[in-house]
A and B are shown apart, each in its own frame.
Chain A
Amino acid sequence: NAGVMQNPRHLVRRRGQEARLRCSPMKGHSHVYWYRQLPEEGLKFMVYLQKENIIDESGMPKERFSAEFPKEGPSILRIQQVVRGDSAAYFCASSPPAGVWAEQYFGPGTRLTVT
């Protein structure tokens, strides 16, 4: 059973360009989460999605960031007009449908560097 897959693993963008990060959840998992890990900081929640629905985007910056999880295909985290402060590791996690609590399984991350 393949784990959570993310690509690319490393992404370099110049200031002002767009970054698109992809995440394929584990087989059978319908919930996707994105987290950001800044240098010297812990993991911070960004957004929680189910198929075709954004459930909780309270951790997303108000501008330039968007996320989707279409009916078919991977989840996409999109960052428009990147700035140096966007340089970080972005992790995707997935979990199966669950009741009161859920265990999240993480992908290897995409390391974004903005030059």
Chain B
Amino acid sequence: TQLLEQSPQFLSIQEGENLTVYCNSSSVFSSLQWYRQEPGEGPVLLVTVVTGGEVKKLKRLTFQFGDARKDSSLHITAAQPGDTGLYLCAGDGGTSYGKLTFGQGTILTVHP
């Protein structure tokens, strides 16, 4: 069974601070996705990383896929209250096509 561990589970910071969320596993993933979920809504896809060592930037968000494709990180620079939400990582194991394994999520609160 593939597992993804996300840390921290909760993160409460002030506007303007930087933060990093981690997603770790002992398993190798073909690809890894990061989602953001608002209360009462479905997860919204932020990015997909596929290649080991890959780095993708989306405005103030930087996503990195580990060299061995077992871990990933999400870094947010100068966080804003609008970044508040639940961040989820999800991995595609490749052995069962389309079966995403989700981390438990990180609840981020950015205070003005």
* Residue tally, chain B, CB below 8 Å to A: 26
Contacts of B98 in A (CB 8 A): 31, 33, 48, 55-56, 95, 102, 104
B99 touches A101 (CB 8 A): no
Say how far A74's CB is from chain B's closest CB, in angstroms.
16
In the assembly, what is the distance between CA of A4 and CA of B44, in Å? 11
Q: Which residue of B lies closest to A31 (CB)?
A: B98
A contact face: mostly helix, strand, loop, or mixed: strand
Question: Are A58 and B103 in contact (CB-based, < 8 A)?
Answer: no
Bin chain A's interface residue count. Answer: 20 to 34
Q: A42-B88, A48-B96, A104-B45 are in contact. List 5 more A-B contacts (CB 8 A).
A: A4-B42, A33-B99, A43-B90, A104-B98, A106-B43
- 23 CB < 8 A contacts A-B: A4-B42, A33-B98, A41-B104, A42-B104, A43-B88, A44-B102, A55-B98, A56-B98, A58-B96, A95-B98, A101-B30, A101-B94, A103-B33, A104-B45, A104-B98, A104-B100, A105-B45, A106-B43, A106-B45, A108-B40, A108-B41, A108-B42, A109-B41
